[in-house]
A and B are shown apart, each in its own frame.
Chain A
Amino acid sequence: MKQPLAKRARAHAANLSLSSLLVLIYALPLYVAISLSLKDITDQSSLLSLPTAPTWDNYIKVFADGTIGRAIFNTAVITALTVLLQVVIAGMAAYPLARRKTRFNRWIQSGFLSVLMIPPLSILVGVYSTMVALHAISTYWGIIIILVAFGLPFPIYIFANFIVSIPISLDEAAELDGCGPIRTFFLIIAPQLRPVIVSVVILNGVGTWNEYGYALYLLQKREMYTVTLEISQYFSASSASNLNGAAAAAIVVILPLVVAYLALQKYFIKGALDAALKG
């Protein structure tokens, strides 16, 4: 089945040009942002040009300003706690839903799943007024509890599907050894969930890090701002004046996730697949 040489060369060229086109389309915005962030604010050269005299000044100013550092800290705290709580609470919830499929529990499970269909902004008014009543505006726990609650259905679904595939004899053995349901879950089932936990942590972690809609309304004090809120300050305050600084701030905020993604690509892709095929 050897193709003629000319045909193979043509196929190779087509493959190469399509590949490069895709990489170009996807790399260009990042290239523009990075190159802008390395140019001096007085540099009026084209956005497409490479910085002729690259400077770290914009980055130094971003860190000297301190707001981005604080925003990264806030976002890291919120993301870590949100994802941790989601994994624990969703994992616990998934166990009875996977193992005790009574009609009532099925009903509960579809209740959880239907949360996926609620567009966050559609009940914004209700969330906001509820959180005002609880004095939870501009607090860590306020934003965390909302993000946890809205992010539960997807991990519950993934965990429940996974638990179904764990042999029930393990539970029974634990039961014979005198474990109650709670200990059985934490000692026997939870450790088995590791591969899907990785997927859930990645997907919900990325989502929480980048969250904007709720943070915008629930976090009103500047010192509570997350990275998305702080970046929008940079871009709107400086829409004409300091785009270079704003670009540097954006790169600083994007970088942790991009680096993690490039280093752990395999897990990120698997996470996306778990979400798509099981969720």
Chain B
Amino acid sequence: MTPSPPSMPVTRRNTPDRVLTRSGRNAPRRRWRGASVNLLYLPALFLTLAFVAYPLYEVLSLSLNQWNGYSQVRSFVGFDNYVRLTQDGYLPSILGNTLIYGFGSALLQNVFGLGIALFLDRRLRGHSAVRAMVYLPVMISGLIMGYIISLFVQYDGGVFNEILGIFGVAPVDFMANPTRAVLIIMAINVWQYTGVTMIIYLGGLQSIPHALLESARLDGAGSWATFRHVTAPLLVPAISTAVVLNLIGGLKLFDVIVSMTGGGPGFATHSLSSYISNQYFNAQKAGYSAALGVLTFALIATMSSLLTRMFRARQVEAL
């Protein structure tokens, strides 16, 4: 993955920066060239400020206004939109759905992803084909996947009912029950993106030195003990990446919901993301939608930084 640099004696000049900076505040700072090199990040900085930071500011300011999304008139209403968050009868269940999409996906994707990775890590015949298949749906848009899976869960002649019929089970209207519909949407997300988790774990497993596993075996450790005491601790970085990635992915869930249910029945399967879009463009409550956006942003930023911190602590422990 890294280019093979011509071999040369390791002096302070060509030691990786990371090593220097780890050693703390007093580490010699690298200034081998004038500040003019910083010109190179100006385009990226400009784009980020203009098209990410400014819209973020717009969202914050709109959340203090009442606005229908297109007229010239915006009226300042202070924190009214935030007060309305607490009075919105749909919001508790939408928040609950979002957490199910996030934590449910993170849990199941990691269980299945790790399981499949451990299975495929033995690299028997046919395993590379299995790996290719499991990763394949990652190539396909969540939206289109949702439409295809709709063919499975539909009441009339849906694939699942067809299969149930073989066993003499009466057809089920899968998406009519709100809780079940939420769980099905989560399951589709898990199914589609377990491939990503699997790849992360396969990478993690391959980076574990064989000598360690070998010596554990020579010490008489069984396969569970080896996994528990050698493999698992060394996988902590992979687990951390996978959990954070899956959690954020699940909390942001949008495409599949649009194509599976459009948030319905009623508002029963909305996530925060799809509800934001619904409130802005369907209900034309731009200010309220902005307040929902701020809530979503705060939720996801808090979750991901808490988790990252938690895993960082675990990692030190594991080493």
| B56 at interface, CB cutoff 8 A | yes
Contact call A32/B36, Cβ cutoff below 8 A: no
| B89 at interface, CB cutoff 8 A | no
Q: In the complex, which residues of chain B have a beta carbon less than 8 angstroms from the beta carbon of A123?
A: 52, 55-56, 58-59, 293, 297
Contact call B296/A26, Cβ cutoff below 8 A: no
| B57 at interface, CB cutoff 8 A | yes
Q: Most chain-A CB neighbours within 10 Å: which of B136, B258, B281?
A: B136
Contact call A121/B273, Cβ cutoff below 8 A: yes
| B76 at interface, CB cutoff 8 A | no
Q: In the complex, which residues of chain A have a beta carbon less than 8 angstroms from the beta carbon of B38?
A: 96, 100, 105
Considering the chains assembled together, what is the distance between the CA atoms of A232 and B157 in angstroms?
A: 21
Query: Which secondary structure characterizes the binding site on chain B?
Result: helix
Residue of B47, B124, B286 near A149 (CB, 8 A) is B47
From A52-60, A61-69, A180-188, give the one contacting chain B.
A180-188
Taking the closest CB of chain A, its distance from the CB of B187, in whole angstroms, is: 11
Contact call B140/A115, Cβ cutoff below 8 A: no
| Minimum CB distance partner of A12 in chain B | B124
Considering the chains assembled together, what is the distance between the CA atoms of A43 and B85 in angstroms?
A: 49
Q: Most chain-B CB neighbours within 10 Å: which of A96, A180, A192?
A: A96
Contact call B14/A254, Cβ cutoff below 8 A: no
From B25-33, B167-175, B178-186, B222-230, give the one contacting chain A.
B25-33
Say which size band chain B's interface belongs to: 35 or more
Contact call B300/A166, Cβ cutoff below 8 A: no
Contact call A102/B31, Cβ cutoff below 8 A: yes
| A197 at interface, CB cutoff 8 A | no
Contact call B33/A99, Cβ cutoff below 8 A: yes
| B315 at interface, CB cutoff 8 A | no
Contact call B141/A212, Cβ cutoff below 8 A: yes
Q: What are 14 A-to-B residue pairs whose CB atoms are below 8 Å?
A: A29-B149, A117-B300, A119-B297, A121-B254, A122-B272, A122-B294, A125-B62, A126-B55, A126-B293, A149-B50, A171-B32, A206-B138, A243-B151, A257-B140
The interface of chain B, by Cβ under 8 A from chain A, is 1-3, 5-6, 8, 13-14, 16-18, 21, 29-33, 35-41, 43-45, 47-48, 50-52, 54-59, 62, 69-70, 116, 119, 124, 126-127, 129-145, 147-152, 157-159, 162-163, 191, 196, 199-200, 203, 237-238, 241-242, 245, 248, 251-252, 254-255, 258-259, 272-274, 276-277, 280-281, 286, 289-290, 292-294, 296-297, 300-301, 304-305
The interface of chain A, by Cβ under 8 A from chain B, is 15-16, 18-19, 22-23, 25-30, 32-33, 36, 46-48, 89-90, 92-93, 95-102, 105, 108, 111-112, 114-115, 117-130, 132, 145-146, 148-150, 152, 156, 162, 164-169, 171-172, 175, 180-182, 185, 192, 195, 206, 209-210, 212-213, 216-217, 227-228, 231-232, 235, 243, 246-247, 250, 253-254, 257-258, 261-262, 265, 268-270, 272-274, 276-277
